[in-house]
Structure 1
Amino acid sequence: MTVRTLAAATAVALCLGHTATAQEYNLSLAHWVPATHPLQVLGMEPWMQSITEESGGRITFTVYPAQQLGAAADHYDMARDGIADIAFINPGYQPGRFPILAAAELPFLFANATGAVRGLTEWYQQGGYDDMEMGDVYFCMALTHDPGTMHGKEPILVPEDVRGRTVRPANATEARFVNLLGGASVQVPAPAMREVLSNGTADITQSPWQSLYIFGADTLVTHHLDMPFYASINGFVMNRGMIDGMPEDLRTIMTNHCSPEAAETMSTGWAGAEAAGRASIAADPAHTMHTPNAEQVALWQAAAEPLTAEWLALMASQGRDGEAMLQGLRDALARYDGLYGQ
């Protein structure tokens, strides 16, 4: 073999080697909950395993939990900018940035985290709302926990019990609700709830049940409003360059795992784990559950009505038919038995 032939053969071999490497992907997945959180253990890990198996090992993952790559509120931008290939986000940590999806944050809308999150993902994707406000990433799916509630250092039973208190809300919509009720909001991500409760910055936190244990707040709040109060909307988003640059067969595997059905599957284990936390709290004599009657529930719902009016006004200011959009969301939730009070 001549030197020239050898050089050409080497170049071809290097090119082939590069092509093979380029079609094998180790994707970074960043999130801000502990690695032991049920969302990772029961949701993310089976999801990643399924993708790895279907791709024949050509897609693998490295997980960066507990804000290792950035603060909770920064995860959307991390996926947009390629700091992470996939990120778990809470859009409500960036108030006003994703106003359409914020409709799902309205209180007393979600009955559960399973059928409801399937309906939400379907509504957001099929309506094209994901491209409208998250077009600089690839929106994979919405995720949520079993509906959360308020947990305080003192009893909470009616809206008046929030007046004069300081609350760590779950998202921007709930922060607005707290303000409407005469309370003050201290908006920090869930991993910081223990800190603001322990140092006296907050009297009340919003949280699903098991997360009180996960984030170490269970010893700090001993009074619990026993009703499905809100859903904190989360989601998976992906770096658009990453997903668009994949070969078609691998891209199809990834997008098939980004669907309303995948959203329900991903959220199911998390929802069950959070719901189990309620039983633990209820069995602990150090804690008191406050269950509102029908009249008290009606007080909460009436107090929340201005939030819907504000959202509709915001949509109108953008030239959108908010009534039709919100009805579409309710219909999607009801289609999968996820609408509160249906």
Structure 2
Amino acid sequence: MRTLKTLLTITAAVLATDAVAAELRLAHWLPPQHTLQTTGFEPWIQSIGEASGGKVTMTIFPAQQLGSATDHYDMARDGIADITFVNPGYQPGRFPIIALGEVPFMVSNGKSGSKAFDSWYKAYAEKEMADIHVCMAFLQDPGTLHSREAIKVPADLKGKNVRPAQATVASYVALLGGASVQVPAPEAREVIARGAADAITFPWDSVYLFGIDSVTKHHLDMPLYTTTFVMAMNKATYEGMPADERKALDDHCTSEWAEKISAGWADKEQSGRDRALSEKDHTVYKPTAEEAQLWKNSAEPLMAKWKDQVKAAGADPEAVLKAFRDALSAENALAE
């Protein structure tokens, strides 16, 4: 695997002459020009290289080069890649505790929200994701509904086909009388373009990055949900690293780095809203206070479902929920 030609290799600025570099493969499923790569992964990798004295280098494999977006957790487990970018919501029910981050109207922002999220999940990661090493967890900035026709209140979703961002949003769509069209993000535009889906839940700027702005002209102006992510590492790779190299990596698998790695992406996603507002062929609808409450009320059964799933997995849902709310409150990231 180390002889594969690569799209992008990032090494430390200065390599120690006697260093033996550990070349790690980092796989993700976003386009290589995505902000998370350019403002998140690349600076993170560069900093690790510098901290390790040039001993740790990484090669990035973007755009599903090593496997489908839905398979990135198992790719880390099986050593297809050393580090992968995982959306746990692509495998509904497999990771019930982390799914709390998917419940609508919980998180106010993706920056300090990511710091709180990582701090909270570290208490559960080793048990829930026992077959990989969890480096860090973070959140996408809150996304919303983008549709072919205007959607203003929950009742407007009845009978609609929606591409959901993650498993909890899929349950939400079903709760409101819609149907989910399950495809990874890179395939989302196609299903809307051919009429197989009427709407998508997506963050703002990603609508433009994936070309979805050409097929969805209506946008609901409210922070509806977040999506959870994990930087997953192959256990054998991690445990086989020399102590000094592992320390350099550990020092970059922190809640502070979870905030850093997500910050540029959050800013970019927020800019997409301004872009939609400025374009005459797009309609951005701001719900009234009463309509916003309808949305929040309609999502309440999702929390009850999450509690049942966590209880079935052997954890105390009330304790897990309190810990998450406390972590978000401490970072001013708890949604009102």
Pick the TM interval, shorter chain.
over 0.9
1:203-230 Cα shifts (integer Å, max 9, x gaps)? 0001001101111100100010000000
Deviations 1:277-329 (A, max 9, x none): 11111100000011111111111111100000111122223332101111110
Q: Find 1:264's aligned residue among 223, 246, 259.
A: 259
Does 2:77 correspond to 1:80?
yes
Q: Which of 196, 218, 232 is residue 227 of structure 2 equivalent to? A: 232
Residues 298-337 of structure 1 aligned to structure 2 (within 5 Å): 298-337=293-332
Q: Supply the AA of the counterpart residue of 2:244.
A: D
CA contact (8 A) 1:23 1:247 kept: no
Asked whether the 8 Å contact 1:23–1:246 carries over to 2, the reply is no
Specify which of 117, 127, 132 is matched with residue 132 of structure 1: 127
Q: Using the TM superposition, give the Cα deviation of residue 21 of structure 1 relative to its aligned residue in structure 2, in angstroms.
A: 9.3
Is 1:70 the counterpart of 2:61? The answer is: no
Corresponding position: 1:208 with 2:203:
yes
1:1-342 aligned within 5 A: 23-125=20-122, 128-341=123-336
Q: State whether residues 151 and 205 of structure 1, in contact with CA within 8 Å, keep that contact through their aligned partners in structure 2.
A: yes
Give the aligned residue type for 1:189: P
Counterpart code for 2:215: L
Post-superposition Cα deviations, 1:59-93, rounded to whole Å, max 9, x if no partner, equal: 11111000000000000110111110000010000
**Equivalent position SS for 1:312:** helix
> Percentage identity across aligned positions?
51
Q: State the distance in 2 between where 1:317 and 1:217 align.
A: 38
Query: Equivalents in 2 of 1:23, 1:104: separation in Å?
Result: 39
Q: Distance in 2 between matches of 1:145 and 1:170?
A: 11
Unpaired runs of 5+ residues, structure 1, are: 1-19
> Following TM superposition, by how much is the alpha carbon of 1:263 offset from its aligned partner in structure 2, in angstroms?
0.3
Residue 209 of structure 1 contacts residue 278 of structure 1 at CA under 8 Å; is this kept in 2? yes
Q: Which has the higher helix share?
A: 1
Larger Rg: 1
Q: Which stretch of structure 1 is more off in the superposition, 226-235 or 316-325? A: 316-325
2:49 is paired with a residue whose SS is helix
- 1:18-63 C-alpha deviation (Å, 9 max, x unpaired): xx99942011000000000000000000000000111111111111
Tell me, in whole angstroms, the C-alpha distance in 2 between the residues paired with 1:198 and 1:248: 51
Counterpart of 2:85 in structure 1: which amino acid?
A: F
TM-score by length of 1: 0.92
Q: Retained in 2: the 8 A contact 1:164–1:183? A: yes
Alpha-carbon offset, residue 132 of structure 1: 1.2
Q: CA RMSD, aligned part only?
A: 1.2
- SS of the equivalent of 1:173 reads helix
Matched residue type, 2:276: I
Query: Unpaired segments of 5 or more residues in structure 2?
Result: 1-16
Instruction: Give me the whole-angstrom Cα distance separating, in 2, the residues matched to 1:319 and 1:41.
Output: 39
Q: 2:80 is paired with a residue of what secondary structure?
A: coil
Q: CA deviation at 1:145?
A: 2.1
Q: Which amino acid aligns with 2:177?
A: G
Aligned length: 320
Q: Please give the secondary structure, in 1, of the residue aligned with 2:57.
A: strand
- Structure 2 Cα separation of the partners of residues 158 and 327 of structure 1: 29
For the 8 Å contact 2:96–2:313, the answer to whether it is kept is no
Q: AA paired with 1:123?
A: W
Contact 2:26-2:83 within 8 A present in 1 as well: yes
Contact 1:158 1:299 in 2 (8 A): yes
Instruction: Give the CA deviation at 1:235.
Output: 1.7
Aligned to 2:213, the other structure's residue is in SS state: coil
TM-score where L is the length of structure 2: 0.93
SS in 2 for 1:218: helix
Q: Could you tell me which residue of structure 2 aligns to residue 15 of structure 1?
A: none
Contact 2:25 2:81 survives alignment (8 Å):
yes
